[in-house]
Structure 1
Amino acid sequence: MIEQRLRTPLTELTGVRHPVVQTGMGWVSGPRLVSGTANAGGLGILASATMTLDDLEKAIVEVKERTDQPFGVNLRADAGDAADRCRLLIEHGVKVASFALAPRPELIARLKEHDVVVMPSIGAAKHARKVASWGADAVMVQGGEGGGHTGPVPTTLLLPSVLDAVDIPVVAAGGFFDGRGLAAALSYGAAGVGMGTRFLLTRDSAVPDAVKQLYLDHGLTDTVVTAKADGMPHRMLRTPFVEGLEETSAVKRLGPTVRRTREFKRDSGLSWWQLARDGRAMRREQGRSLGQMALAANTPTMLKAGLVEGDTDAGVLASGQVVGMIDDLPSCEELLDRIVTRAADELGRAAAYTLDATD
């Protein structure tokens, strides 16, 4: 394990050794992967959207049993029990609260009062300005290359627009998988990088080995962005199941949508009233239509089928375009060691191009 070689606002803010974040991927970012990342010196983020409140507390306790290093938890800001989940973070001394959407100002204030770092994920400069004005400590910005829910603007354009908009640390995500990318992001002015697909494809990831191999078999052009899964643009591996979704009409998707909604209700422990309440919040916060809200319950179930159960005939596999650049399954420690070493070397090499004023 290498010692710290890069000091950035992210390492200073969170106390991690390396400016690399393992993003909160549903069904993937569990205690094993989060603790593996934390022990290797990065910032592991536990994904809680697919967990009940009790499951989340058990997962936090397990991470703390596996590591004494800082880690974070990803939360849905529009969840009906978001305040209760934040209470768990405070009680257990979790270092970072990561949010998929902008948390309310009062929620940010409560977390900051207890020294929890607040880092929402945003998709546009205007959103970064809003959460910064509410007191967020940092933001993560994901470009269109990233997996899961994503936008149309590439990281190379989205990142500088956000950096110009705010003066808090910015973590760049979407298209990062090695030390060259980390060096490039730091050169832009980012405080670090976030990676999802690259951490999914490690030995510390609990994703079934056969599914990992399927990822490794895909190339740079083998992902697709579709709204047919849950009504919002979602980047995933191009598989026969996904191609079938693309070709199926809304009427034919209705039956499976209802079935998956029932499965998600069972897995999440939510009542129908709670699902409806969260749906109203989703519609208010994200502007989703009724049809999109109905589809939204599909995502956790289809991701679970693919990423947990290994059933690629009935599940989707979220993936960034970087899948086409990955060909191995290192441990988190091996991955972070080589990323940080390469980044430091690249930054040193680039510095040689700079001329002194006397030259």
Structure 2
Amino acid sequence: MRTALTELVGVRHPIVQTGMGWVSGPRLVTATARAGALGILASATMTPDQLRSAVREVRSRTDAPFGVNLRADAGDARERVRIIVEEGVRVASFALAPSKELIAELKDGGVVVVPSVGARRHAEKVAAWGADAVIVQGGEGGGHTGDVATTVLLPQVADAVDIPVIAAGGFHDGRGLVAALAYGAAGVAMGTRFLLTSDSTVPDAVKARYLAATAKDITLTRAVDGLPHRMLRTEMVAELEGAGRLRSLATAVRRASRFRRISGLGWPGMVRDGLALRHGKELTWSQVLLAANTPMLLRAAMVEGRTDVGIMASGQVAALIQDLPSVGELVSRLMTEAERTLATLSTGSGPPGAESSPPRATSGPPGDESSPSGA
């Protein structure tokens, strides 16, 4: 299935595995790349040396394209950009909009730049600065997210920019891929669905918690770091939501201290990173510290298997996922479902008088009128 995304980054399938801290490591990214989709390493939970090592590990296992996710507001963002360029990484994605200068530096190094956005105006801004594509995450997505549904946000962005748009938030199967293409996307990006595979290194007990979740078990809360954060409702989330200001501050200091020892980041650096996440919002000091060490809360669950003291970022789509296929099986299944859906739509199940040929959005090189992204 050729789309503007597959042509841009050189993958076989218009599917992106997102960069999830403590989850999107070399094993998952390698499996995704081998399956013909675009795997993204999550670098925010790595030191620069660990990032370089992880990139080389993936490169030693596959020659397929892959990417690295960066925090645009990190103090060492330029050092990480240099590593990406030096190591020949194909794609750089960002959880927050990168600066015009970072985009230019990456593009000068031959790297495809794909920021993630949650609003049309942000997509328009990074497109004007030279971004090659954007990942558009609707409110259904896991982790830090917005309040506009994918079905509303996606067509807004697809109509507003002339670069490939990748849809995220609420996707897990081939039907969703076809729907995204119909809205004008060039592909889909999925986090929770890739987390719940046999190639994910997340502990089995944590995966079981996700598989057991219903829609009511997935919540959007500000209690963790003061920003909207979609995750499973756990003991930790309930504790943070019910804690007073002093208790929250004590919890934040204790966890921040542990994260400082692991990351090597000093207190000034942690506070700086926490403040950088404020985005103009008023946060308490406990929220500032929790924002800085949210990776530690994620690590407790995603690495240590401590569902009682950790947090588990999750898209609402977790309520629809019931199995743990390999990444290869998942991608193959998803593409088969997409092809079957397109065939069904083109053979008479649509409204009377509908065209009998498959939707043109599924073929043709980027730049022509049939390109899903409109590029």
Q: CA deviation at 1:290?
A: 4.6
Structure 2: tracts of 5 or more residues without a match? 358-375
Q: How many residues are matched?
A: 350
Deviating more after overlay: 244-253 vs 112-121:
244-253
Correspondence 1:124-163 to 2 at 5 A: 124-163=119-158
Which residue is equivalent to 2:355? Answer: 355
How far apart, in 2, do the equivalents of 1:288 and 1:269 lie? 27
Which residue is equivalent to 1:28? Answer: 23
Which residue is equivalent to 1:3? Answer: none
Which residue is equivalent to 2:193? Answer: 198
CA contact (8 A) 2:226 2:283 kept: no
Aligned with residue 307 of structure 2, among 309, 312, 333: 312
How far apart, in 2, do the equivalents of 1:339 and 1:147 lie? 20
- What is the aligned-residue RMSD (CA, Å)? 1.5
SS at structure 2 position matched to 1:88: helix
CA contact (8 A) 2:271 2:292 kept: no
Which residue is equivalent to 1:242? Answer: 237
Which residue is equivalent to 2:50? Answer: 55
Which residue is equivalent to 2:85? Answer: 90
Q: Deviations for 1:211-265, whole angstroms, at most 9, x for unmatched residues?
A: 1111111112210111111111111111233222211122211111011112222
SS at structure 2 position matched to 1:221: helix
SS at structure 2 position matched to 1:183: helix
How far apart, in 2, do the equivalents of 1:277 and 1:151 lie? 23
Q: CA deviation at 1:62?
A: 1.0
How far apart, in 1, do the equivalents of 2:281 and 2:50 lie? 28
Runs of 4 or more, structure 1, over 6 Å off, are none
Q: CA deviation at 1:356?
A: 7.3
Aligned with residue 117 of structure 1, among 108, 112, 117: 112
Q: CA deviation at 1:20?
A: 0.5
Which residue is equivalent to 1:251? Answer: 246
Which residue is equivalent to 1:212? Answer: 207
How far apart, in 1, do the equivalents of 2:43 and 2:280 lie? 23
Which residue is equivalent to 2:257? Answer: 262
Look up the equivalent residue of 2:161 and give its one-letter code.
V
CA contact (8 A) 1:52 1:269 kept: no
How far apart, in 2, do the equivalents of 1:269 and 1:17 lie? 39
CA contact (8 A) 2:10 2:65 kept: yes
CA contact (8 A) 1:221 1:321 kept: no
SS at structure 2 position matched to 1:176: coil
How far apart, in 1, do the equivalents of 2:131 and 2:108 lie? 12
Look up the equivalent residue of 1:207 and give its one-letter code.
V
SS at structure 1 position matched to 2:288: helix
Look up the equivalent residue of 1:142 and give its one-letter code.
Q
Q: Deviations for 1:160-189, whole angstroms, at most 9, x for unmatched residues?
A: 111111110000000000000001001111
Q: TM-score under structure 1 normalisation?
A: 0.94
Percentage of matched positions with identical amino acids = 63
How far apart, in 2, do the equivalents of 1:168 and 1:356 lie? 29
Q: CA deviation at 1:277?
A: 3.9
